Amino acid sequence: MYDVIVVGAGPGGSALATWLAREGLDVLLLDKQVFPRDKTCGDGLTPGAVRILRGLGVSDSLSRRGYRVDGVSVTTPQGMRIETPIATDGHPGYVIRRIDLDEGLRNAAVGAGAEFIGDVRVTQVIEEEEKVIGAGRLGPLGWQGRVIALAVGANVGLLKPLGLLPARPDFAYAARSYVEGLRGLRHQILFRFDGVPLPGYGWLFPLSDNTANVGALLFGRARRTTYEVLQEFLRHAPIVEMVGDGQVMLPVKSYPLRTDFHKSRIRRSRLLLIGEAAGLVNPLSGEGIHYALESGVLAGESLRDCFDRGDFSEQALSQYERRLRARYQRVFVLASWMRRIYMRESLLDGLGRACARWPDLAQLLVDILLTRKDPLKVFGPKVVWRVLRSLRGPS
């Protein structure tokens, strides 16, 4: 009998396992993959994610394997470029391959005392007995824990039969490639709304002075696949110019992202959902690592309380959900609205012109994206007036 069984050793699951193991709890961390393993991702870390990673003791992987980023550049559908710094309180952003990041996190969990078993696909969760059943190379396996945390990302197969998936989950879809030999990269992440269909964007996240993770994301279903959209983005003139004689490394991979935290159940009885399994991917930016880490830490703090007091009542266990909702419910509702309203060509171009004229607006938008400012500010009279004034004509 373990204190906590964590299913999924991505950022959410490993953050939770590290936190609980450090507190002296008996933790089992399971994953269907053999580690180190890749995860299809843009590999971008915000300063908020970096702050939590440093707290979990993963600074070393960041400085050895990651590429520091201090700013963001956004290109509007008409090709206007806006640049803004992102670093905060001494924490820059980083771009780091997930094979390195997730291995660093898993090592932190094991170093803190969690037991890790890979190559085990959990196929069933028996709620009343707090039991997880899985299948590994040696056949069927089962474990019992006092609490079970599911941190299985966008793989919703386990959530459905448990009734923990909304009737109409919101998915975005994204494809990524690695491109070597790029020109013009700086310590900056690039978002581009030109060369891709809206609502969506293309990105270039640098992994070195001449290598980047290049991808395309689409919100909702589109007529074309994300793979086709990424090919088109790579043929877009400004990208062709950056790639020059560089090479797109194969394979190109795509994967869904779940963005419906604000309408999802995230707990029942002794079963908690962590990270993207709780729909925690920003509906505006597609960022999910920061939220996965933060939900892991919040679940850790809440569960430690339950174990300290030996109290597993509904009231005690719901602390996690209360804290997570207080932090992100409003952010997710407003970010969804923002995407629906602003992610169209004329408004993005208007926003671009307004940002060029009023740099504090560009900083506000970045702060909203990084959940440092309340998204409601973007619907305030000052912002709306500036965007309306900039809808037509030069800045």
Determine, following the binding rule CB under 6 A, whether residue 255 of this chain makes contact with ligand FAD: yes
Determine, following the binding rule CB under 6 A, whether residue 12 of this chain makes contact with ligand FAD: yes
Determine, following the binding rule CB under 6 A, whether residue 13 of this chain makes contact with ligand FAD: yes
3-state secondary structure string across 160-180:
CCCCCCCCCCCEEEEEEEEEE
User: Strand 27-30 to strand 2-7: parallel, antiparallel, or no bridges (unpaired)?
Assistant: parallel
Q: At what angle do helices 47-55 and 289-309 cross, to 10 degrees?
A: 40
- Whichever of 17 and 25 has its CB closer to ligand FAD, that residue is 17
**Radius of gyration of the CA atoms of the chain, in A:** 21
Are 325 and 26 in contact, with CB atoms under 8 Å apart?
no
- Pick the stretch among 8-16, 19-27, 364-372, 384-392 that binds ligand FAD (CB under 6 A): 8-16
Q: Which residues between 330 and 369 bind ligand FAD (CB under 6 A)?
A: none
Determine, following the binding rule CB under 6 A, whether residue 9 of this chain makes contact with ligand FAD: yes
- Whichever of 174 and 196 has its CB closer to ligand FAD, that residue is 174
Determine, following the binding rule CB under 6 A, whether residue 40 of this chain makes contact with ligand FAD: yes
Determine, following the binding rule CB under 6 A, whether residue 159 of this chain makes contact with ligand FAD: no
CB of 95 to ligand FAD, least distance (A): 8
Determine, following the binding rule CB under 6 A, whether residue 202 of this chain makes contact with ligand FAD: no
* Candidate list 23, 36, 39, 166; residue touching ligand FAD; CB under 6 A: 39
Query: Cα(first)–Cα(last) distance of the chain, in Å?
Result: 65
* Candidate list 5, 21, 42, 299; residue touching ligand FAD; CB under 6 A: 42
Determine, following the binding rule CB under 6 A, whether residue 156 of this chain makes contact with ligand FAD: no
Residue entry with tokens 């089962």: 142
Give the integer Cα–Cα distance in Å for 303 and 321. Answer: 11
Give the integer Cα–Cα distance in Å for 71 and 177. Answer: 22
Determine, following the binding rule CB under 6 A, whether residue 257 of this chain makes contact with ligand FAD: yes
Binding mask 207-246 for ligand FAD (x = CB under 6 A): --------x-------------------------------
Q: Which residues have a Cβ under 8 Å from the Cβ of 269 and sit 6 or more positions away?
A: 127, 317
CA distances from 254 to 62, 176, 263, 319 (A): 24, 6, 25, 35
* Candidate list 58, 101, 158, 369; residue touching ligand FAD; CB under 6 A: 158
- Whichever of 41 and 306 has its CB closer to ligand FAD, that residue is 41
Determine, following the binding rule CB under 6 A, whether residue 33 of this chain makes contact with ligand FAD: yes
CB of 190 to ligand FAD, least distance (A): 12
Give the integer Cα–Cα distance in Å for 186 and 170. Answer: 34
What tokens appear for 53 in the block? 């990673």
Determine, following the binding rule CB under 6 A, whether residue 48 of this chain makes contact with ligand FAD: no
- Whichever of 100 and 287 has its CB closer to ligand FAD, that residue is 287
Nearest to 215 by CA among 261, 184, 249: 249
Q: At what angle do helices 381-390 and 345-357 cross, to 10 degrees?
A: 100
CB of 153 to ligand FAD, least distance (A): 2
CB of 37 to ligand FAD, least distance (A): 7
Q: Which residues have a Cβ under 8 Å from the Cβ of 157 and sit 6 or more positions away?
A: none
Give the integer Cα–Cα distance in Å for 23 and 165. Answer: 31
Closest residue to ligand FAD, judged by C-beta, is: 288
User: Strand 27-30 to strand 115-117: parallel, antiparallel, or no bridges (unpaired)?
Assistant: parallel
Determine, following the binding rule CB under 6 A, whether residue 93 of this chain makes contact with ligand FAD: no
Q: Which residues between 277 and 336 bind ligand FAD (CB under 6 A)?
A: 277, 281, 286-290, 292
Nearest to 201 by CA among 230, 239, 178: 230
CB of 33 to ligand FAD, least distance (A): 4
Determine, following the binding rule CB under 6 A, whether residue 92 of this chain makes contact with ligand FAD: no
Tell me which residues touch ligand FAD (CB under 6 A).
Answer: 7-13, 30-33, 39-44, 121-122, 151-153, 155, 158, 174, 176, 215, 255, 257, 275-277, 281, 286-290, 292
